[in-house]
Amino acid sequence: MSINSEFNPERVEGGEEAEPLLRNGTEHLAARGASFASSVFNLMNAIMGSGILGLSYVMASMGIVFFCISLVLVSSLAAYSIHLLLKLCDQTGINSYEDLGGRALLKPGKVLVGIAILIQNIGAMSSYLFILKLELPAAISGFLSPDSGGDAWYENGRILLVLITVFIVLPLSLLPRIGFLGYTSSLSFVFMLYFAVVVVVKKWSIPCPLPHSVTTLSGAFQISNSTDAECMPKLFAVSHKSAYAIPTLAFSFLCHTAVLPIYCELDRPTKARMQKVSSVSISLSFLLYLISALFGYLTFYAHVDSELLVGYDEYLPRDLMVVTVRLAILLAVLLTVPLIHFPARKAVILLLCGDRPFSWRVHVAATLCILGVVLLLAIFVPDIRNMFGVIGSTTASCLLFVFPGIFYLKISIQPLRSVDSVGAVLLVVFGLIMGVISFSVIVITWIKSS
């Protein structure tokens, strides 16, 4: 479902005077575009996911100051790469990531971008559904009596996953326009906000030094407190775990496959207006990331788990706020899947059907095929996150940094010494370095674990 506007050579560089992008083939679906707030919620939903659970662990491996500097750097680079994409759209009239690849690198570039989007988004959707399969039964059990054990259907992750996919994910994914998901995205934002509030509140519910169980020489269990020194926050920290930090932070701001579809459906879509959408979305995501990571780290310090909620389960078992926030995060992850599905389906249709007008038959067929593959992977692959780890580390860095930089250098008429051209070169270099580091870290982890 390509949505390309005609090129207007009289477009103004900054986008303030740019004419609204045309919505060829989709005018019958809505009289007007998505509102500014709806677009912000959609982009935030594309940015934020289950990765927010691991940022406290990242802070523990880097230290507070180093983490904050890295978070500012990565979020700024992500915002800058979006700026380059929007600038190219404004200059060329192309508002499809795949078509920008075709303009820059001809047909191989269009195919390469489409495949990268498809792999990245299928991997992300499969990972999210895999998380739901593992965590949702435990979240439901948290609301039940401890004595209500058994093999009920609602405690079977596979059954729950099939029901959720059929009755929630599929209807939302069949919506023809990404703007329609603004309501569910706003609900997802509320869930993420609730998570940050709970992390802040529970900071004062868990004492430090932290009590933890140890086994004596006689085999008996006793409670031992961690030392007071462990309750001192570290400003800077360097260890082998720090190698995960930058890739994890970078993936936490990956939303570029959804930026241009959201741009196409924005009401009065100009570059300046969409730039405000991306700035607000990244700023709010940055704020929620920073608050949840900081207070999560200041709660558990060196004992923070790679998945933050695990620590609360240990020290505050069956706490009502912890139980509800676990369910809220899972619902937020669930509502992210249809949004990630939209660019994946768009890439499939572009690669297989080209720029044909919108067709419900093609739309439904592509939706069912993609969700079928994602559901099968989530159900039957034992560790979906490791399987897509290597592929995701390369495709994510390309979509986030490398492709926007290369496209700008190939398409833009600006001289190589201009500010944006130099910035594009730095994006490409940073993306390549990050991709190599991510790939190496994952391979080394596999070797050690085996």
Condensed to tens digits (0 to 9), the pLDDT of residues 271-326 reads: 999 999 999 999 999 999 999 999 999 999 888 888 888 888 888 888 889 899 99
Would you give the DSSP letter of residue 273? H
Q: What is the pLDDT of residue 411?
A: 94
Look at residue 222 and tell me if it is in a domain.
Answer: no
Tokens of 86: 């929007």
Q: What is the pLDDT of residue 150?
A: 57
Would you give the DSSP letter of residue 398? I
Would you give the DSSP letter of residue 24? T
For tokens 């389960």, the residue is: 313
Look at residue 133 and tell me if it is in a domain.
Answer: yes
pLDDT (tens digit per residue) in 390-437? 666 778 889 999 999 999 999 998 888 899 999 999 999 999 988 888
Tokens of 122: 């299928």
Residue 222: is it exposed, middle or buried by C-beta count within 10 angstroms (0-12/13-18/19+)? exposed
Q: Which CATH number is 144's domain given?
A: 1.20.1740.10
For the chain, what is the mean pLDDT?
84
Per-residue pLDDT band for 227 (boundaries 50, 70, 90) equals: low
Look at residue 423 and tell me if it is in a domain.
Answer: no
| Pairwise pLDDT comparison (62 vs 225), residue with the higher score | 62
Per-residue pLDDT band for 205 (boundaries 50, 70, 90) equals: confident
Look at residue 90 and tell me if it is in a domain.
Answer: yes
For tokens 């054990």, the residue is: 149
Using only the alpha carbons of the chain, give its radius of gyration: 23
Look at residue 257 and tell me if it is in a domain.
Answer: yes
398: nearest Cα among 112, 191, 192, 205: 112
pLDDT (tens digit per residue) in 151-203? 778 888 899 999 999 999 999 999 988 988 999 999 999 999 999 999 999 99
Look at residue 198 and tell me if it is in a domain.
Answer: yes
Structural domain that includes position 89: 33-214+229-384
What would the DSSP string read from start to end of 108-126? HHHHHHHHHHHHHHHHHHH
pLDDT (tens digit per residue) in 23-61? 444 444 444 678 999 999 999 999 988 788 889 999 998
pLDDT (tens digit per residue) in 118-133? 998 998 898 899 889 9
Q: Average pLDDT for residues 11-19, to the nearest whole number?
A: 40
Tokens of 233: 């926050």
pTM recorded for the entire structure = 0.86
Looking at the 3D structure of the chain, how many domains does it have?
1
d(CA 450, CA 83): 42
Reply yes or no on whether the pLDDT at 389 is more than 80. Answer: no
Per-residue pLDDT band for 238 (boundaries 50, 70, 90) equals: confident
